[in-house]
Structure 1
Amino acid sequence: MAHLSRAALRRLSVATKSDRRHSCPHFIRAFPASSRAFHSSSPRRTDGVFRELTEQRVRTPWIEALRKRQAEERYPAASSEQPSVPKERKLTPKRMQDSYSSVVLPLAQDPWLLDTYLNSSGHIRLGTIFMDLDALSGVIAYKHTGDDVTTVTASCDRIVINHPLHEICDLELSGKVTYATGRSSLEISMQVAKAPQAGEKVKPEDVLIHCTFTMVSLDPTTRKPVNVNPLIIETPEEQRLYKLGERNSKIRKQRKDTALIKHTPNDLESDLIHAFWQKQLQYHDPYDELRKPDNVHFMHDTRLQTATIMQPQNRNRHHFMIFGGFLLKQTFELAFTTAAAFAHARPTFVSLDPSTFQNPVPVGSILYLTATVVYTDPPLIGAPGENVDQDSKYTRVQIRVDSKVRDVEHGRSKPTGQFNYTFNVEKNIRVVPRTYQEYMYYLDARRRAEQVKETLQEEGIGLSPQTAEDSVTE
């Protein structure tokens, strides 16, 4: 094509349009069936959000949404500051099944769709699946709340690999609201599984991912929380799911109440800080033969950063803020890169641990992401009475990704979220904090790791590093 003249290209374009009008039998014969047809505009293939979910998320072209907002800014309505959702409105209790939604990604059937989900080694990019899960959580939330409120992602409480995939197959994403008391927040439980045959149900061993998202409903005008419909519990299984939601809610409150930003470390944690400080003194003591081993790295040396301008193509359904799933994909891929750079080995995803969306990310802002290795398990120094296998072949690496935004003029800055990812690496490697801030990062990550380990043991979820390595996902 590079050697065709402009005139030839014009003739080809005219012939193509003519052939399309007349079913183009000779045109079809000229090109193999496997070739992609010409289009006047590119098809709506997005990076990781399946078209059925994209249509729910973006309903108006950006130029129309922008012109509408510019018109509203020129001629603001007198009642623009009044709540658009009345305080007293009828909130009829709903069943869990009322919000159930599912979508099948035909990855095994559609190679061009699969093309948007694969990485360079032929593995499914989990970041793209996370985008789809966040989009699906929005669909589920609005089925429960209705369209008169604005519902946003407040936190991702957990994403865990249950069973690995051993081959590329069609995937079913499904979920429903499993916890809602009638206040502004609701918890959505979702799963990704091998798509079952028609008339069959998903088998437990076919579930790839289980996850929970917390959503919050706001008044579209005032951006203040508004109440949503409570849930009706009908079966023992629904009772179990509801109790899990209660437990997760209590854990979130407990984590907030005991956060290191509010309280000093406890006695055990203070002893750990002191032990790390003593270890570093040994490393630098000219009269001590102990030196920092090659597999031990200081935390500040593990840091990676990115800066990206937020474009409208990644907006949410309310047009002027960035879609939460896009942030999950960006933070996951930076965390993956950080783990790989730290270990010089290919990481295997274990879990997205409790993470928060603090503030929205506006379209047009500049997003700064900072990823740091904040904890390794086994640790370099264990707590008293803790059994630590310092010769373990595998290490669990926890990556903290902090996000903030600035306007283009760099006049204002605000934090937008913290995301915590855990990976397995086939390497005996350790991270060591040095500054007080790094010690707080380390202790916060240690608390998170212990808490996640307890909940996974309670539910019998989790993979061995060897099993996880065989998966066709990252």
Structure 2
Amino acid sequence: MAELLIKCQDIGSVSNPRRHFLLNPSPATSTLAHPHEMSFNTGNALRRVSQASRCNNCWHRVSVALAGSRASRAIHSSPSQSTDGVFRELTSMRVRTPWVEALRQQQAEQSHPAEPSGKPEVPKERDLRPRRMDDSYYSVVLPLAQDPWLLDTYLNSSGHIRLGTIFMDLDALSGIIAYKHTGDDVTTVTASCDRITIHSPLTEICDLELSGRVTYATGRSSLEITMQVAKAPKQGEKVRDEDVLINCTFTMVSLDPSTKKPVNVNPLIVETPEEKRLYALGERNSRVRKERRDTSLLKHTPNDLESDLIHALWQIQKHNAVLMRKTRLQTATIMQPQYRNRHHFMIFGGFLLKQTFELAFTAAAAFAHARPTFVSLDPSTFENPVPVGSILYLTATVVYTDPPLIGAPGEKVDEQTDYTRVQIRVDSKVRDVEHGLSKPTGQFNYTFTVPKKIRVMPNTYQEFMMYIDARRRAEQVKRTLEEGFGVGPKTAEKNLTE
């Protein structure tokens, strides 16, 4: 009796079993358990196949009868338990070529993946006819309640669902949606995450449905994608508003894959009242982004009210405040190819969201000595790509607390609340292994609540500018909560996400 390892590759039928199995002569080292049962003889005749579930790329232990022997043995195996943090149905769309093949091709061409070439690849006669919102709609269900091994990759030590991993999935989903709208001729990258908010708390572990579509596109290079995470509805039912866990919008930009220059995409056809509402929100978000750029503190000095606030902060001495410089946390990570995007040599944006979220969470916890509760990811930008093999440096800083140390003239400050909203800014930059010139790759702004009265105090001019910039973002968070988006701190504490 000989033992082999058999690799199952997306078994969809058993009509031609020899097409579905690759034999590996390496001996199995342990007995595994799996609902697949198979028996083979050396003539490759399939005696019995029982498929109770579907698996991808898992290895099965098999005993093969030698020629002339009738002995056979059932196979027992387990599905693959390893993951790069993105649900497999989304990963298959994100990475289509094995890393070693992409690397060999790049070496053969003697090209540098980060440098644009002068020859455009996008066809001049592209189909740019307007498309409907529903043309780009895509949804996927995470069977967290049904698959304990999948759930295992989404849980933290407290049994809460890791939001950073959900953010990775959302970014991967946004790429699928974008390509359904633009086609595969262009390179579509994440330009910014305009907002991620908790809509309703998740009170039980359940299957989650991630869905979205393009909701704003004028025909130029950018498009806005609106997505949600909700409790998966029953067959034939629709998602109820109270079952929506997360709302978010991403802005994507389409580029020529060779020249790296922006290219036009299909505009949207807007028909129904709901589509008109979503399109109007996209127009407003686009206008807010432009206003934010025009009034940036990198271009203009603080206004009169902000200048008075800076002076007042400089004058006071608060012994119960934590100096901003003491709140900083930093990490350095080598970028591995497992987190690349579909264009092979750059890290995909969802990985950055996951890394920055978890560092921001850690910084908020270290600052407050209490468990933070996520409120929102505020408008954040992706500035430069992160190449595979580079070193990513992240710096998290507590830049604002609400209620603040002191309010501006005429501003109402609730000093009686037992909760504090903490805004964390995460700055990212990338360098090569030789530590050459560094490039900023993005700024990410997270807001948490903590069950504690605690304040942060800026000291240097740079810290005051970070404080004022964060204060502007905090005003937008307040407006979002007033508009009915998001949940209160007490309700949020019951959420099974973290």
TM-score if structure 2 supplies the norm length? 0.85
Structure with greater proportional helix content: 1
What code does the residue aligned with 1:223 have? K
By how many angstroms is 1:104 displaced? 0.2
Alpha-carbon deviations, 1:296-323, whole Å to 9, x = none? Answer: 1000000000000000000000000001
Report whether the alignment pairs 1:293 with 2:330.
no
CA contact (8 A) 2:123 2:185 kept: no
Structure 1 position 201, deviation (Å): 0.2
SS in 2 for 1:155: strand
Q: Distance in 2 between the 1:11 and 1:267 partners?
A: 75
Aligned to 2:337: 312
1:217 paired residue among 254, 259, 265: 254
Alignment CA distance shift 1:44-1:186 (3 Å) = farther
Quick one: which amino acid aligns to residue 230 of structure 1?
A: P
Q: Give the whole-Å Cα distance in 2 for the aligned partners of 1:369 and 1:136.
A: 24
1:100 alignment counterpart: 137
CA distance, structure 1, for counterparts of residue 223 and residue 302 of structure 2: 32
1:329 aligned residue (332, 354, 358):
354
C-alpha distance in 1 between matches for 2:117 and 2:165: 37
Shift of 1:46: 1.6
Q: Are the equivalent residues in 2 in contact too, given 1:57–1:317 (CA < 8 A)?
A: yes
Q: Does 1:159 align with 2:196?
A: yes
Offset at residue 88 of structure 1 (A): 5.4
* SS of residue in 2 equivalent to 1:21: strand
Give the C-alpha shift of residue 449 in structure 1. Answer: 1.1
Q: Is the 1:302–1:342 contact (alpha carbons within 8 Å) kept by the matching residues of 2?
A: yes
SS in 1 for 2:110: helix
Letter in 1 for 2:462: Q
Residue in structure 2 matched with residue 354 of structure 1 by the alignment: 379
Q: Deviations over 1:209-259 (max 9, x none)?
A: 000000000000000000000000010000000000000000000000000
Distance in 1 separating the partners of 2:76 and 2:302:
63
Measured in 1, the distance between the counterparts of 2:384 and 2:494 equals 37
Q: Which amino acid aligns with 2:489?
A: P
Distance (Å, rounded) in 2 between the aligned partners of 1:72 and 1:44: 36
Once residues 257 and 370 of structure 2 are traced to their aligned partners in structure 1, the CA distance between those partners, rounded to angstroms, is: 46
Matched, 1:205 2:223: no
Which residue type is aligned with residue 220 of structure 1? P
Question: For residues 11 and 240 of structure 1, what CA distance do their matches in structure 2 show?
Answer: 60
Seen in structure 2, the aligned counterparts of structure 1 residues 200 and 75 have a Cα distance that, compared at 3 Å, is closer
**In the alignment, is the contact (CA less than 8 A) between 1:47 and 1:117 conserved in 2?**
no
Aligned to 2:16: none
Could you say which residue in structure 2 is the equivalent of 1:466?
490
Query: CA 1:75–1:153 in structure 2 vs 1: closer, same or farther (change >3 Å)?
Result: closer
Q: 1:409 to 1:248 in 2, by over 3 A?
A: same
CA distance in 1, matches of 2:124, 2:330: 43
* Normalised TM-score (structure 1): 0.89
Q: Secondary structure at the match of 1:189?
A: strand
Residue identity opposite 2:344 in structure 1: H
> C-alpha distance in 2, partners of 1:157/1:448?
12
Query: Does structure 1 residue 446 correspond to structure 2 residue 465?
Result: no
| Aligned equivalent of 2:67 | none
User: How far apart, in 2, do the equivalents of 1:380 and 1:322 lie?
Assistant: 39
Check conservation: 2:81, 2:150, Cα contact below 8 A: no
Q: Is the 8 A contact 1:191 1:211 kept in 2?
A: yes
2: distance between equivalents of 1:421 and 1:37?
Answer: 46
Q: Could you report, residue by residue, the CA deviation over 1:345-376 in whole angstroms, capped at 9, with x for unpaired residues? A: 00000000000000000000000000000000
For residues 188 and 378 of structure 1, the distance between their equivalents in structure 2, rounded to whole angstroms, comes to 33
| Correspondent of 1:406 among 431, 434, 438 | 431
The answer to whether the aligner puts 1:21 opposite 2:39 as a matched pair is yes
1:158 match: secondary structure: strand
Q: How many residues in Structure 1 have an aligned counterpart in Structure 2?
A: 439
User: Aligned partners of 2:305, 2:228: CA distance in 1, in Å?
Assistant: 37
1:256-271 correspondence runs (5 A): 256-271=293-308
- In the aligned structure 2, how far is the partner of 1:150 from the partner of 1:112? 33
Give 1:463's aligned amino acid: V
Contact 1:47 1:128 in 2 (8 A): no
Shift of 1:82: 1.0
1:111, distance to aligned residue in structure 2 (A): 0.3
With over 3 angstroms needed to count, the CA separation of the structure-2 counterparts of 1:86 and 1:74, relative to structure 1, is closer
* Cα shift readout 1:60-105 (whole Å, capped 9, x = no counterpart): 10000000000111799xx952111145533100000000000000
Residue 75 to residue 314, structure 1, CA distance change in 2 (3 Å)? closer
Paired residue type of 2:495: S
Q: Within 1, Cα distance between the matches of 2:127 and 2:120?
A: 16
Counterpart CA distance in 1 for 2:487 and 2:416 is 20
Q: Which has the higher contact order (CA 8 A, sep 6+)?
A: 1
Alignment partner, residue 392 of structure 2 = 367
State the shift of 1:15 in Å: 8.7
CA contact under 8 A between 1:47 and 1:116: conserved in structure 2? no
* Partner Cα distance (1:12, 1:160) in 2: 47
Aligned to 2:157: 120
Structure 1 residues without counterparts, runs of 5 or longer:
1-9, 29-35, 284-291
The alpha carbon displacement at 1:390 in A equals 2.2
Q: Unaligned stretches of 5+ in structure 2?
A: 1-25, 41-47, 51-60, 63-74
Distance (whole Å) between structure 2 residues aligned to residue 448 and residue 165 of structure 1:
26
What letter corresponds to residue 396 of structure 2 in structure 1?
Answer: A
Distance 1:140 1:37 in 2: 38
> Offset at 1:388?
1.1
- The 3-state SS of whatever aligns with 2:260 is coil
Amino acid at match of 2:314: W
CA separation of 1:267 and 1:65: change in aligned 2, threshold 3 A: same
CA distance in 1, matches of 2:311, 2:406: 11
| Pair 11,97 (structure 1): closer, same or farther in 2 beyond 3 Å | closer
1:161 and 1:463 in contact (8 A); partners too = yes
